[in-house]
Amino acid sequence: MFIGITGPRLVGKHTVAKWLISKHKFTLVSLRDGSYVVKDEDGIFETPKKLLEYVTKNWRRNFVTCNVETKEILELYRKRPFFFLIAMDGPVLTRYKRYRLL
């Protein structure tokens, strides 16, 4: 399964991704220019197409990404039958409070 998480900043996308990783053994895959960078270079890709090629080759494993930021990326990923999109949103005031904590 390949899960993409999308939504505005500070809504909790990475919190959900961390939960999938810790509770359900998903693997985080990211784009190099994404806002969230893991310490290990494994799982970081230069382009959405390269990320998708890797996920497709390893389709029996579970992956999650928070880098579904454009319609073009979504259109690319949704061609795969094992892709599932989670669209998140949250109260503006809560997101603003999180922003002030940065």
Q: Is 16 exposed, middle or buried (0-12, 13-18, 19+ CB in 10 A)?
A: middle
* The pLDDT of residue 98 is above 70: yes
Tens digit of each residue's pLDDT (9 = 90 or more) over 24-67: 999 999 998 745 555 445 789 989 999 999 999 999 999 999 99
Asked if 85 and 2 count as a contact pair (C-beta separation under 8 A), the reply is no
Collapsing DSSP to helix, strand or coil, 14 comes out as helix
Residue 6, both tokens: 């999308």
The CA-CA-CA angle for residues 27, 42, 34, to 5°, reads 80
Between 71 and 41, where is the model more confident? 71
